[in-house]
Amino acid sequence: MAEGSVGLWLIGAKGGVATTVALGLQALRRELADNVGLVSSLPQFAALDLVPWDQIVVGGHDIRSASLYDEAVTLHSNSRVFDERLLKACQVDLQDLESNFRPGTLHNVGPTIENLADADTRQSETPRDAVSRLRDDLEEFRTNHNLRHVVVVNVASTEPPFDVEVPANWEAVEASLAQNECPLPASSLYAIAAFGAKCSYVNFTPSIGSNLPAMCELAELHGQCHAGRDGKTGETLLKSVLAPMFAARHLEVMSWVGHNIFGNMDGVVLNDPANKQAKVASKDKLLAEILGYAPDSLVSIEYIKSLGDWKTAWDHVHFRGFLGTPMTLQFTWQGCDSLLAAPLVLDLVRFTERAGRSGETGVLSHLGSFFKSPMGEGPVEFSQQFQHLTEWAQQTAKASSQNGLSGSAEQNGVVAERNGSHPPQEAKNGA
């Protein structure tokens, strides 16, 4: 087993998901919560030697300086989640984390997200300066806590859609960072900082993040893993489960309408049509991919304050059966967004760290089951995505047991093979 702790650096560290991640991690460490909701705790992944909960240290960037504990209390009272005893038991833990948070960047996040930021969030720096500052934060975090690896996870608010042409090679993009006109949004700057600091990067949001050719080049340059985009927690999860059924039964989906309502801060941001568009696009293209044709499809996301963190989705699927008979499937999903997302973030940290430990670099396509718009090649049906993950786990565990004893030994070997002479973790560990 690998020794030493792993860092989880959250972009959007004071949001609902991040708050739940931090609280949940303390609850797991204190054994006040069972492992329900955690994919990585399933028996299928028991042989993987994943990092244990008590060896994950949380830090992060945010544009708001709210207290994490207060955020948790607000989530508790607005949305009736968390046990009050749990909150109390973890209060000091959460307060101790405050020293691990640093101010983020607002570059190209759009006015709606800017409005949520603290007044003093620095906006004057160039993108290059921002990257440099963010990278220093990551390196300081790793040093302070003596971490053997850090996984950066973006759980910040959704940026407006990114549709600017960007050069495909890193060198050209790198040069553009010196100018304030550089079109890259914050999610990408965080990724650049992450890779530069030899960290993995996971994008749990629909923002563009590392999903650009130049960024993929950068990840490989630094020998780092990345994965994304847009955590698949509710309605889209159901779509990726149900649409294959219609396909396998040769039932023709004529229309699929999905209405989502919810009331958390994500909702406030999505009430801006620009930000919403990124989200809806991410949810909508799945059907055509699975079915092989594009049914009449509609996805709406609306902010309804009273619902708090409870995202309610109503989906109406109108399909045609034998002899042209129209039939209907409707479902209502009432899920608590942060509580659905947070365990997946923890899973992603464990799986990503594990992949890096085995020497993998670049896009982790076996994590497709976690995302609405998976990066890399891979199946779109949920069951096949999950099968992909379990097969990867089997191979990784097998390779690991063949390779010898410790994670670090294995890692060095594999990395050497794949990546030339510069094992990414060496630099990190300072070995």
Residue list 74-113, contact with its own copies (CB under 8 A): 77, 80-84, 86
Structure tokens at 409: 């030994």
Q: Closer CB to its own copies, residue 394 or residue 429?
A: 394
Does 306 bind its own copies (CB under 8 A)? Our answer is yes
Q: Using CB under 8 A, which residues numbered 17 to 36 contact its own copies?
A: 20, 23-24, 27, 33-36
Q: Using CB under 8 A, which residues numbered 315 to 344 contact its own copies?
A: 316, 318, 320-336, 339-340, 342-343
Q: How far apart are CA 42 and CA 58, in angstroms?
A: 23
Residue 371 CA, distance from chain mean position:
8
Residues 6 or more apart in contact with residue 212 via CB below 8 angstroms = 166, 168, 173, 188
Question: CB 334 → its own copies: shortest distance, Å?
Answer: 4
The count of residues interacting with its own copies (CB under 8 A) is 75
Q: Closer CB to its own copies, residue 234 or residue 423?
A: 234
Q: Which of 10, 22, 39, 202 binds its own copies (CB under 8 A)?
A: 39
Which SS3 state, helix, strand or coil, does residue 147 take? strand
Q: Which of 37, 167, 376, 413 binds its own copies (CB under 8 A)?
A: 37
Q: Using CB under 8 A, which residues numbered 371 to 400 contact its own copies?
A: 381-384, 386
Question: CB 396 → its own copies: shortest distance, Å?
Answer: 18
* Binding window for its own copies (CB under 8 A); candidates: 5-13, 113-121, 294-302, 417-425: 294-302
Q: Closer CB to its own copies, residue 390 or residue 406?
A: 390
Question: CB 257 → its own copies: shortest distance, Å?
Answer: 5
Q: Closer CB to its own copies, residue 284 or residue 381?
A: 381
Does 48 bind its own copies (CB under 8 A)? Our answer is no
Which SS3 state, helix, strand or coil, does residue 260 take? strand
Q: How far apart are CA 329 and CA 350, in angstroms?
A: 36
DSSP state, residue 288: H
Q: How far apart are CA 321 and CA 250, in angstroms?
A: 8
Question: CB 258 → its own copies: shortest distance, Å?
Answer: 10
* Binding window for its own copies (CB under 8 A); candidates: 59-67, 166-174, 206-214, 310-318: 310-318
Q: Using CB under 8 A, which residues numbered 218 to 257 contact its own copies?
A: 237-238, 241-242, 244-245, 248-252, 254-255, 257
Does 271 bind its own copies (CB under 8 A)? Our answer is no
Closest to 378 measured CA to CA, from 76, 404, 387 = 387
Question: CB 58 → its own copies: shortest distance, Å?
Answer: 16
Question: CB 73 → its own copies: shortest distance, Å?
Answer: 11
Which element (helix H / strand E) includes 338? helix 337-357
Q: Closer CB to its own copies, residue 27 or residue 227?
A: 27
β-partners of residue 327 are 319
Polymer length of the chain: 431
Question: CB 12 → its own copies: shortest distance, Å?
Answer: 18
Q: Dihedral sign, CA of 408, 409, 410, 416?
A: positive
Helix residue spans in 43-121 (DSSP H): 68-79, 84-97, 111-116
Where does 110-266 show beta strands of DSSP type E? 147-154, 200-203, 225-228, 252-262
Q: Closer CB to its own copies, residue 122 or residue 316?
A: 316
* Binding window for its own copies (CB under 8 A); candidates: 63-71, 268-276, 282-290, 300-308: 300-308
Q: Using CB under 8 A, which residues numbered 190 to 209 contact its own copies?
A: none
Q: Closer CB to its own copies, residue 223 or residue 374?
A: 374
Q: How far apart are CA 16 and CA 19, in angstroms?
A: 5
What are the backbone angles phi and psi of residue 243, rounded to the nearest 5°? -60, -40
Structure tokens at 13: 């560290």
Relative to beta strand 310-320, strand 326-336 is antiparallel
* Binding window for its own copies (CB under 8 A); candidates: 39-47, 103-111, 280-288, 423-431: 39-47
β-partners of residue 149 are 6
Closest to 212 measured CA to CA, from 166, 174, 154 = 166
